[in-house]
Structure 1
Amino acid sequence: MMTQPFPDLPDSSNEVSSVHFHPADRFQLLSAYLDREVTAQEHRQVQMWIDTDPQFKQAYLNLLRLQQAMPQLPGPPPSISAAELSQRVFTQIAQENRYQQCWRWGSIAVAVGLGVVTSLCWGPVRSFLPGPQQAQRETPESLMIALNQPLFDVPTETH
């Protein structure tokens, strides 16, 4: 459902009147009229105001002169050329990339250095998992001997 920007606008051109419009709304509608952004009904309303209201017609003429003069106004001259601006932007990006890369490589170097110092101070870390040397010592034979010949007598009680 599309709403009208000016809901108080009458539905037919026979009922047009400026009673329903606030002066700010009339000015906004006039501005939209000059920009060719009004519906046919709004166009008829503004045209009727121009034809019947001398103050509104004067506002219309002032806005029309202002609109026609705007493209002729010179803009501020650019302080630097587009080529120089783009060169500065790319130079800044390259400097930031170098800075980030230095931080990245520095962090890697510190991590490696800490790893080396840690391994030198504490030596090789012993694992709780059996290594190849422990697996060779524990053979099924030595295990059977330990089970068949206990180190101490196990008392057996019978009731």
Structure 2
Amino acid sequence: MNSNFDAHNCSGQKAARDMDSLQRDRFELISAYIDGEVTAAERYQVQDWLANDANSQRLYARLMKLRQGLHQLPVPATQVTTQETANQVFSRIDRRRIRNTMVWGSAAIAAMFVSAFSGILPGSQFMPRLAQTPVTEEAAEPLMIAVNRPVIQIPKAKSASPENFIDSAIFNP
């Protein structure tokens, strides 16, 4: 019994959503018709609805009444003229320019002081000095080549005989 009820309820909800979607589309199309924002085919569709459908006629009447009410609303008088508003905007822009100029100028002055104290500028008293190593004259030692008598003992390698080569090839594939 629950499954039939749920199925009935789901189809009822789907039908309600479809009906809401249809009403929403109709509302948007009639609203666009009033504003003059429809194509020729949409205009004929709305005119057909207005001629034959009582719900569309009521919706159209409500939208027209709402539109007239919005047009009749009083516009509050502004206390500030447009010239005063423009002057306020330009004065804010000028203050920002002055502030940006001061920030960049201060940064440039700070960079100049840092460079002066770090020795980047020529003639600075705080110029770092590089350490110099004293140059000593050493006697040039001649290059010795030990052909017959090496400086260190070089170990002898096993002699390569054909028997050793064949045995190593068989046992070490």
TM-score for both structures, normalised by structure 2 = 0.54
Match of 1:141 in 2: none
Q: Which residue of 2 aligns with 1:123?
A: 127
Task: Give me the whole-angstrom Cα distance separating, in 2, the residues matched to 1:106 and 1:156.
Answer: 64
Gaps (5+ residues) in structure 2?
Answer: 1-18, 131-136, 149-173
Please tell me whether residue 54 in structure 1 is matched to residue 58 in structure 2: no
Q: Whole-Å Cα distance in 1 between the matches of residues 118 and 97 of structure 2?
A: 32
Which of the two has higher C-alpha Rg? Answer: 2
- Comparing 112-121 with 46-55, which one deviates more in the overlay? 112-121
Encode CA deviations 1:106-147: one digit per residue, 9 max, x unaligned. 112112222222334543656xxxxxxxxxxxxxxxxxxxxx
- Relative contact order (C-alpha < 8 Å, sep 6+): which is higher? 1
Distance 1:154 1:28, change over 3 A: closer
Which residue of 2 is the match for residue 100 of structure 1? 100
Residue 102 of structure 1: CA displacement? 1.3
Cα distance between partner residues in 2 of 1:110 and 1:87: 34
Instruction: Give the aligned partner of residue 88 of structure 1.
Output: 88
Unaligned residue ranges in structure 1 (runs of 5+): 1-18, 127-149
Distance 1:155 1:124, change over 3 A: closer
Q: Write the letter of the residue equivalent to 2:93.
A: I
**Structure 1 pair 79/155, CA: closer, same or farther in 2 (3 Å)?**
same
Partner of 1:111: 111
Tell me the TM-score normalised to structure 1 length.
Answer: 0.58
Deviations 1:78-103 (A, max 9, x none): 24211111111111111111111111
Cα separation, partners in 2 of 1:71 and 1:25, compared to 1, 3 Å: same
Q: 1:71 to 1:156 in 2, by over 3 A?
A: closer
Give the counterpart letter for 1:123 in structure 2: M
Residues 56 and 125 (structure 1), Cα distance of their counterparts in 2 relative to 1, 3 Å cut:
same
Q: For residue 34 of structure 2, what is the aligned residue in structure 1?
A: 34
Q: How many residues align?
A: 118
Cα distance in 2 between the residues matched to 1:155 and 1:28: 103
Cα distance between partner residues in 2 of 1:67 and 1:83: 32
> Do the aligned partners of residues 28 and 90 (structure 1) sit closer, same or farther apart at CA in structure 2, a change above 3 Å counting?
same
Q: Percent identity?
A: 28
